Structure 1
Amino acid sequence: MGGLGKTTLVRQVYKKDEIKQNFDCSAWISVSQSYNIEHLLRELLKQLQEKEKDIPRHVDTRDAASLVQTLTDFLQDKRYLIVLDDMWSRDAWVLLNHALGISKNGSRIIITTRNEDVASLADVEHGIQLKTLGKEEAWDLFCRKAFPRLEGKTCPQSLIYWAEKIVDKCEGLPLAIVAIGSLLSHKKLYENDWKSFYHQLDWHIGNNAELSSVRNALDLSINHLPGNLKNCFLYCGIFPEDYEIRRAELIRLWIAEGFIEERGASITMEEVGNEYLNEIAQRSLLQVVRRDVDGMAETLQMHDLVRDIVVSKCASGKFSLLLDNSRDAMHSREARRVSVLKADSIEDTLDGGEKIRSFILFDPRVSSAWVETATGNFKLLRVLSLESAEITKLPDVVTTLFNLRYLDLSYTNLKVVPKALCKLTKLQMLNLSGTDVVELPLQIKELAKLRVLLTKVNHDYDARIFDCFQGAKVHSGICLLKDMQELGYIEANKDLVVSLCNMTLLRIFKITKVKREHIKELWTSITRLAHLSHLLIISYAKEEVLDLENLDPLPNLEWFYLKGKLHGGVIPTIFSGFRKLRDLRMGWSRLQADPIPSFAHLSHLVELHLYRVYEGQIMTFRAGWFPKLEKLYLADMEQLSCMEVEAGTMPILNYMELIGLRSMLVVPAGFQNLTSLQQIVLMDMPVEFMTMVREQD
């Protein structure tokens, strides 16, 4: 991101005489956002030929093709050092690459950029991705800038509390630390002055001329966003500070708001949304916190200072408003989107509600009565998120919001979905996860635009418990919803499993309470779902046997969760057809044979979770197996006492959990072969095992 010190680092290298003397010529070019290719080529020629007597005539009037040829001829036998600073897109590289060619003389080209797409021009081993400073480094840098005249450049004891809060706000961004530290170096060392500065820091970032370098560096990235991405990025300003934004949630919000363009039947808006999000992350405006097994960003965060600028832009442009005190509520008349961060002192009503398009609740302490009152005149509302709100029934007003596309009621105490919900004919996403809704009304089939339906009865998730969650009962008529992309946790019934094949766009499907007699029809329907990539099947009960033999494989499946006793105590042969599987989770399988050899062909597997899967004593991992496995979870296999781990197996495994393996008394001898392992979690392991771990092993 802007302000990390990319240019500063490269400049320190570029200006050193002992480096420059190794090259015949050198040039430093700032590419910038609005570059002119002819200007760049002319500037390159002038800098490279600074010591040359024969600078080509009429350089200032030559076209790009002529300049490229001149540069090529000049550099063909020279060793050169060229810095292309602050490159924003790969476009500039097309002509420059032709001009610079491939030198065999040890020449060097250094590019600085905020964009991962530009950085990919370099070979992987030649890319340096700068990180923000750690806490100690940030504090040291700040003190050197803020207290240059004090002995040891140390912070006075009376100011430490506020100084640390100021440094924390910078979140390790060197440019911000240096600029704010330098500004404070002129301030009196009075605690109240520093306290006052901290409470006004957001204002200083936006208005103080001495911090314009910080503001401009961060502004540049935002202003450079294409039009279709700008609204998407500004929308991220509705989330609280340090909030981990879930990818799927954000993309659904964009779709509901109409920010995602439709590109035809062959690609979904969710896939387009993923492209948008990847591009924003590549531009370093959002930081990836976690990635899924496919390497896609799963959760993201916005740097505090970037967020401050975004929030300011959103407020001034009437794009959105953060409600965290009563003063803000008075300005809600002009905002198009409102998020409630604090419930302490918000007003009873929201002025201008008829203009609001998104209303998102982040503070669960807001009462049901307030929600009912506040949303009373939301005539144009597209997005309503009441996650974790203290409501037991759906506010009556919700069923009158005819423009609603997105309704999130997750983790509320909701018990019943009213039949009147069917009036919301534009609804695309309905989230009932973590509620007490055990059955959906028949009328749900009238929500023809529904793309995502999430239900899960309110239980705390614990993979070690068989019935840690259950789905809701639905009528088979739900299968008439042809736009459905994700349907999860619903109870199986005979009519449903037969009709499922009608939802041809389904990509994610999670079904519970599956009985033996359901399997054949269920699998027949699933094999007709050409786009299905994520599948969860949970059996009716621990002793319910699932017979998956003689069924067709699912070659496009990428994520599979199977919980239930398997016929014959062996892995069914359909597993040989799971060629693209990246994440496999199994539980309560009651296998008599070691399952690991049956998974050995899964060369794309990144995560493997096995809970109460195997009732044998020995589990084997051979050399060459699981080349891409990164995470392994083994739990509650009571008889498992030995693991054979050969050298060359799981070569990039970095995380492992061993839980409740009560017969495993010693650390397996082959564990020293797992040289890439970074973290092991041990839980409910035998005392003997833990003693060995703490001592010689």
Structure 2
Amino acid sequence: MAEVAIIAAVQKIGVALGGQMVKELSSLLSEELALLAELPSRISRIEIELQMMQGFLSQLDMSKLKNPAHEAWIRHVRKQAYTVEDIMDEYVSVVSQQVSGLGGYWKKIGKGPQTLVALHGIAAQLKEIEANLAHLSQMKDRWIQSTSDDRPGSISSDASESQLFYEEEELVGTEEIRRALSDLLDSSEPHLSVITVRGIGGVGKTALVNNVYQAKKLEFDFVSWVSVSQSYRFDKIIRDLIRDINKNVQNHDEMDDIALTRRMRELLSDKKFLIVLDDVWAPAEFLHLLNALRGNNRGLGSRIIITSRIDDVAQLATDDRYRLTIEPLGADPAFLLFCRKAFWKTESRECPSELEECARAIVAECEGLPLAIASMGLFLSSKEQTVPEWTQISKQLDWEWDNNPSLTRTKCVLNISYKALPRYLKNCFLYCSIFPEDYLLSRKKLTRLWIAEGLVEERGPNKTLEEVAESYLKELVGRSMLQLVKKNHFGRVKKFRMHDLVRDLAISLSRKECFHQVYTGGENVRIYHDARRLSLLSCSDTDDKSGIDLPRLRSLIAFDTKMPPSLLLSSVSSKSRYLAVLDLTGLPIETLPDSIGDLFNLRYLGLRCCSNVKSLPKSIGKLSYLQTLDLFGTGIRKLPACIVKCNKLRHLYAIQEIDTSWELFIHGLGVEAPGDVWKLKDLQTFEAVEANGELVGKLARLSQLRTLWIYKLQRTHCAKLCESLSQMNLLSYLFLFARDEHEILELDNLNIASPTLHRLVLKGRLSNGTFNSPLFNGQNNRTLQYINLSWCQLTQLEENQDLIRVLSKLPNLKELILQNVYVGEQDLQFPAGGFALLECLTLRTMPKIAQLRIEGGAMTSLKRLELDGLQGLQGSPAGIESLQSLKELHLYDVNCCEEIRRRFAGTGRTIPRIYS
């Protein structure tokens, strides 16, 4: 539908109408500029019209979308909404760039004829848009039947699953979780317990629960299956349950919610019941129902089972034992299920050997979703079972998914999850499908792309856009729309991916919404003139990119690093004036065209790993909206002075890596920054800058900094640096690197004012008083969770200065890396009760460490221990067998593997996995 386009347009209108800009504009325009003076009110009327259209579209029944009149009307609405989005970007740019102090410019407006012409053009376009929207509204009433009586269907989204899977023999690969669910129903726990079963749409939640439900229902006095879904109505569900309990109950149709709840409790007070709430979408729905189901106070062992796709709902289980998760099927059970469906006509239900290779390829496309696997199996059971026939279907699988009724129900199940997304998440979800199949997505990159595109809404003065974007991401993961792959040390989402079938759905929706296009190259694939976002996954040398004319393009992301980019880059920078995102990561480009500065709307410029790029054009200073500049891995060693004109810059990455292992002292280089870099008041990330006296003295002026990397620090810089850092209230990540291995960093007064400092990296020789500084006082500093110290050249200190003893008192430290820290022979002792939350410990390149001692009660949470380059270690670490939580032990250049094995074997406990 056109809802995606309308959402984007309304968001941009909010920017255009926000803040003081409109007040100043309205008050300062003279009467003779009537068309311009009416701009804010006209924009407001357009916003209201679009919001009403969005409400209408959100209520449309899916079956009506095949109506040609609906499709034509939606297509025209989408076109108008996208045009509004473009105009709003241009309007905001013209006003904000010309207003100096939001008033000075308008007082001299007669001196700016070009701006007047631009504003008149915008006003004329908006006047035409308003008329077109009014006409579309009239057309809707004239040609399209009203949908005011339409209501969302009440059938559970997983209903099709239970039709496909009912026989136990077809519930393959779920034996363990079925047994767990059955055991929970058999449990002697007397109190009412809540069991949750979570999984992505199509994974078989309903089918599995239904199987156990049918097997166990005779053991309960009362059972009921409630399909909650998105059409949830408390009063209807309670009335249906009351009828199920006692069909003779009368006069409850007129009861209000309170009376219904009281009646429900009375009827359940002496019953052991089992109630399944299938397809719950929000915790509030369950809590409302639970209040009515608490009538069982006699300890009869009643159970409530909830199925859901949403993590927040799964958290409502009684405790962790009652929280079950269904994962997609592995390769073998998936193939077994497919065969039982595809070859149901044969007694053996086995795949012919000549079809097995093709069959396994088709099953792999289903990504372990039982609903998709069974649908595909049944679909192929009606086809000619020959290698040519199946090979042809495999090649055009995307087309089959979209066009065969027996397969589209799989996407319909997944589409329900999309339709249930809040408005602010829909475009963010579609944006994820820009990336290639199985691409490992990064939290930082994706959230910054969302922000650059204007997809993230402000939520009050105390939350940054980055924090809001991260909450969006967590919500998409919680709704099973994205799969979590990795968390960082602090429990935040770090890496994730899109399930292939979910990605296929997103691409299909994006194609219909004209949201983005994925270009894979070739003669039969063309780039559409009105493409708004374009991801280049593959381009051949024969592809004609010179004639690309994409006037509405907002994002261009290139993934094919072999693509010759020069013609494309020059074409885009001259013709795609609304471009907000330009990501050329890894492309073999040498220079950026000077015309890059004409992209007035550019918010994100990615040149990561473009190693041949040595400098930025001076026109970069014209990018007044630029938020993210990624120069990581380029050859740029000095930032141009004009960079300070990019006064909305939030994230600057400029590290040139030399040694990714960090074994060399000089592992990377930063950039030289202009003297007035402190003018970048919005800067949150600076990775990395080379130190100088003026810079370290004025760092505190960059008051929004969260992440700071500084290279080439000298002893003479340290006093000013410590003073500046003591005034920086928002720092979370701090990385300090000395100029060389001989430079001593005097950090005795290091004290970070920020209450959110989580990550600290120090590389270089440290003064003796460093670990007496306020930063390492465990009573004051309760935020540090990650510390990496290297090349410190420490000698054995007094006991109150001993590094290990000092660090052991930091109460929330979770990961510690010590590399090449000590000089001379040393014994390291980890004190009893120390490092209570430490999960990962790495000791690397310290060949003169002779003894490691772990006292009882030390590092009780340690899961991973790495010893690398400790050639002088005399025997296994004393007390290592006391590390009860240890799961992984990595040993390199250490001659005590067998002795460690014997130590653990002597305890009778499971030996940690040892890597060597």
TM range (shorter): over 0.9
Offset from partner CA, 1:63-118 (integer Å, 9 cap, x none)? 22221111122223322211111000122123212211274332111111000111
Gap change, CA 1:388 and 1:460, over 3 Å in 2: farther
TM (normalized to structure 1)? 0.94
Pairwise CA distance, 1:332: 2.0
Pairwise CA distance, 1:642: 2.4
Instruction: Write the mapping of 1:255-654 to structure 2, written as runs, cut at 5 A.
Output: 255-326=451-522, 330-344=526-540, 345-349=542-546, 351-375=548-572, 376-412=574-610, 413-554=612-753, 555-568=755-768, 571-573=771-773, 574-576=775-777, 577-593=780-796, 595-615=803-823, 616-654=825-863
Q: How many residues align?
A: 689
Gap change, CA 1:444 and 1:105, over 3 Å in 2: same
C-alpha separation in 1, matches of 2:571 and 2:374 = 44
Give the counterpart letter for 1:658 in structure 2: L
| Unaligned 5+ runs, structure 1 | none
Pairwise CA distance, 1:647: 4.4
Equivalent pair of 1:609/1:634 in contact (CA under 8 Å): yes
| Residue of structure 1 equivalent to 2:255 | 62
Gap change, CA 1:469 and 1:130, over 3 Å in 2: same
Equivalent pair of 2:522/2:539 in contact (CA under 8 Å): no
Pairwise CA distance, 1:458: 4.1
C-alpha separation in 1, matches of 2:334 and 2:664 = 44
C-alpha separation in 1, matches of 2:461 and 2:543 = 44
Matched, 1:87 2:280: yes
C-alpha separation in 2, matches of 1:505 and 1:569 = 29
| Residue of structure 1 equivalent to 2:445 | 249
Pairwise CA distance, 1:665: 5.1
Percent sequence identity over aligned pairs? 38
Instruction: Write the mapping of 1:119-134 to structure 2, written as runs, cut at 5 A.
Output: 119-122=314-317, 123-134=319-330
| Residue of structure 2 equivalent to 1:106 | 301
Q: Secondary structure at the match of 1:184?
A: helix
Q: Secondary structure at the match of 1:238?
A: coil
Pairwise CA distance, 1:399: 2.1
Equivalent pair of 1:569/1:592 in contact (CA under 8 Å): no
Equivalent pair of 2:725/2:751 in contact (CA under 8 Å): no
Pairwise CA distance, 1:468: 1.1
Q: Secondary structure at the match of 1:453?
A: strand
C-alpha separation in 2, matches of 1:649 and 1:186 = 64
| Residue of structure 2 equivalent to 1:41 | 238
C-alpha separation in 2, matches of 1:328 and 1:428 = 37
Pairwise CA distance, 1:325: 1.7
C-alpha separation in 2, matches of 1:550 and 1:318 = 57
Q: Secondary structure at the match of 1:614?
A: coil
Give the counterpart letter for 1:115 in structure 2: I
C-alpha separation in 2, matches of 1:362 and 1:633 = 35
C-alpha separation in 2, matches of 1:696 and 1:158 = 53
C-alpha separation in 2, matches of 1:151 and 1:696 = 56
Pairwise CA distance, 1:341: 0.2
| Residue of structure 2 equivalent to 1:672 | 881
Rg larger in 1 or in 2? Answer: 2
Q: Secondary structure at the match of 1:61?
A: coil
Matched, 1:662 2:871: yes
Equivalent pair of 2:748/2:770 in contact (CA under 8 Å): no
C-alpha separation in 1, matches of 2:203 and 2:337 = 13
Pairwise CA distance, 1:352: 4.3
Give the counterpart letter for 1:399 in structure 2: G
Gap change, CA 1:558 and 1:350, over 3 Å in 2: farther
Gap change, CA 1:665 and 1:551, over 3 Å in 2: closer
Give the counterpart letter for 1:445 in structure 2: V
C-alpha separation in 2, matches of 1:29 and 1:203 = 35
Give the counterpart letter for 1:353 in structure 2: L
Equivalent pair of 1:569/1:590 in contact (CA under 8 Å): no
Give the counterpart letter for 2:819 in structure 1: Y
C-alpha separation in 2, matches of 1:578 and 1:35 = 48
Matched, 1:140 2:341: no
C-alpha separation in 1, matches of 2:568 and 2:837 = 48
C-alpha separation in 2, matches of 1:429 and 1:263 = 21
Q: Secondary structure at the match of 2:672?
A: coil
Give the counterpart letter for 1:266 in structure 2: N
Gap change, CA 1:266 and 1:12, over 3 Å in 2: same
C-alpha separation in 1, matches of 2:329 and 2:686 = 42
| Residue of structure 2 equivalent to 1:96 | 289
Pairwise CA distance, 1:14: 1.1
C-alpha separation in 1, matches of 2:522 and 2:384 = 33
| Residue of structure 1 equivalent to 2:112 | none
Gap change, CA 1:692 and 1:154, over 3 Å in 2: farther
Equivalent pair of 2:746/2:770 in contact (CA under 8 Å): no
Pairwise CA distance, 1:487: 1.0
C-alpha separation in 1, matches of 2:827 and 2:712 = 31
Pairwise CA distance, 1:646: 3.7
Pairwise CA distance, 1:694: 8.2
Q: Secondary structure at the match of 1:476?
A: coil
Moved more, 592-601 or 4-13: 592-601
Offset from partner CA, 1:10-52 (integer Å, 9 cap, x none)? 1122111xx33432212110100121111111122122335xx
Matched, 1:118 2:318: no
Q: Secondary structure at the match of 1:391?
A: coil
Equivalent pair of 2:757/2:783 in contact (CA under 8 Å): yes
Pairwise CA distance, 1:138: 2.2
Offset from partner CA, 1:196-249 (integer Å, 9 cap, x none)? 111111122222111133112111111111111000000011000000110010
Equivalent pair of 1:20/1:26 in contact (CA under 8 Å): yes
Q: Secondary structure at the match of 2:805?
A: helix
- Larger helix percent: 2
Offset from partner CA, 1:386-430 (integer Å, 9 cap, x none)? 000101211333222111010001100211122221011111110
C-alpha separation in 2, matches of 1:646 and 1:13 = 49
C-alpha separation in 2, matches of 1:246 and 1:350 = 33
Pairwise CA distance, 1:623: 4.0
| Unaligned 5+ runs, structure 2 | 1-199, 797-801, 905-916
Matched, 1:689 2:906: no
Give the counterpart letter for 2:814 in structure 1: V
